[in-house]
Structure 1
Amino acid sequence: MKIFIVNLERAADRRAAILRHLGELGLEAEILPAVEGVKVDRATLGPGAEPRLSNGEVGCYLSHVRFWQLVVERRLPHAIVLEDDVVCSPSLLRVARDAAALMPPFDAVRLSALQPIRGIPVATLSGGEKLILPTKHPSGTQGYLVSLDGARRLLAALSVPRSPIDDTLDRYWKYGLCVPVVAPSVVVEDASIASGIGARFGSTAPDSVAHRVTRHFARVVEAERRKLSVFLMARRVKAQLQGRR
């Protein structure tokens, strides 16, 4: 299975470290040159692009869009993308192959999570790992698997950056995408390496009482919508998987 690593051309040390780490696991990978957000003409991002995203967030988002495009251009049945600041489990490839065998109904499978994984289990892999449709934001795009059809659907729904890429994937249910998370994770962030993204979207938002109240109610409404949407999606997925047996 093809593995890509998102890496800035100037980050030679990180590139060498991740290639060495994967080599120790017996894995090969292709470097996917990351987009330098500071060099992006914001006018080219398309209608609805969020102007408050940092240069790092824009570059990160467009780097993942480029990954989806490569999967489609090369007609890869499945592919994995990793960021260059990760540590991978020796079971990474086995988990990815197990998950790929279940596609569809999944468009992508997240192999990492920065937050505790909470949601509805829909499948169990050969090593006992669960595929869970998250009802809380798992956050992070340290590693995930995508199918060819999934890449097409991601491009159709998410090619314009309206929020950071991990926030966008956290809201998969809003876009009719089916994106479970593997639990436990088989890709984790290397905490010893500083993130290259910089300030996060919304980190400088006003914090007035009215603003906090508005955000609170928006989160409550979205959480309820999410619970229902994910419940219905999980029911459909389980029925599809049962129908194959």
Structure 2
Amino acid sequence: MRNLGYSMRAGEVGCFLAHRNVWEAASRMRGCVLVLEDDSHVDPARSPDIRAAAQLLSGKNMAARLISQPRPAFRTWHEIGPDATLARPVRHGNLTVGYLISQDGAKALLRHSSSFWCPVDDYMNLEYLHGCLMLHFEPEIAEHRDGGVSLIGRREKPPVSPRTRIVREFLRASRNARGLIHSWLVLARLGLCFQRVRQPSGTRLA
């Protein structure tokens, strides 16, 4: 409430708790876990790319989205196939429809989410908080086949007082500043500061 000015929807809370259960299970498994929501569809032909990505992420505090909306520009981190890369997005995308997560990444996300105030995809983007680096598959290798209907429901944003609005915007600016600094530090750590920025392809799945 303090950060957003309104409460999370019941569907958002339920979705977050479901992913926490997955992280708890993944934190006890070696290697990586592929997380897929019910309305996701993964191209079976991309299984070798997923296995290659799992080898790269294993032992690191990382996760990689199979699909994101919007699809941001990116810098290539590693080639994982003839036409596939693991990429570091210029700006964070959204969606938790499908992602690959390492054991260390699951532990980090679990450790810092005993209490939460935002939807799970927004939380996963708060890297400066939990330390799990978010990568993207490029081109994306999953589709969100939800028929354009959200299972969580519509967002109702009640009017807020000027004081609440000021506090909310201050906290948002603080998060954005911390996120920007963290992003540049990550680029330096990954050796991507001078990497060419590329635009996402428009590949459709079979």
Structure 2 counterparts to residues 186-197 of structure 1, below 5 A? 186-192=141-147, 194-197=149-152
Higher helix proportion, which one? 1
Q: Deviations over 1:103-153 (max 9, x none)?
A: 243421111102122344322222332323334231110001112222122
Unpaired stretches in structure 2, ≥5 consecutive residues? 193-206
Distance in 2 separating the partners of 1:222 and 1:135:
16
Counterpart selection for 2:36 from 82, 92, 117:
82
> In the alignment, does 2:11 pair up with 1:56?
yes
Counterpart selection for 1:233 from 164, 168, 186:
186
Distance in 1 separating the partners of 2:168 and 2:43:
37
Identity %: 28
Going from structure 1 to structure 2, the CA distance change for 1:208 and 1:185 (only over 3 Å counts) comes to farther
Residue 204 (structure 2) aligns with: none
Distance in 1 separating the partners of 2:71 and 2:163:
30
> In the alignment, does 2:126 pair up with 1:171?
yes
Distance in 2 separating the partners of 1:205 and 1:229:
32
Q: Deviations over 1:187-245 (max 9, x none)?
A: 12114263211134xx4043788877776665555444323311211221349xxxxxx
How many residue pairs were aligned?
188
> In the alignment, does 2:22 pair up with 1:71?
no
Residue 121 (structure 1) aligns with: 76
**Greater relative contact order, per chain length (Cα 8 Å cut-off, separation 6+):** 2
Unpaired stretches in structure 1, ≥5 consecutive residues? 1-47, 240-245
Query: Does the aligned pair in 2 maintain the 1:122–1:237 contact within 8 Å?
Result: yes
Q: Deviations over 1:31-86 (max 9, x none)?
A: xxxxxxxxxxxxxxxxx9x981111111100100111112234x242211111112
In the alignment, residue 206 of structure 1 is paired with which amino acid? P
Residue 198 (structure 2) aligns with: none
Q: TM-score, normalised by structure 1?
A: 0.65
Task: Find the residue that maps to 2:188 and give its secondary structure.
Answer: helix
Q: TM-score, normalised by structure 2?
A: 0.76
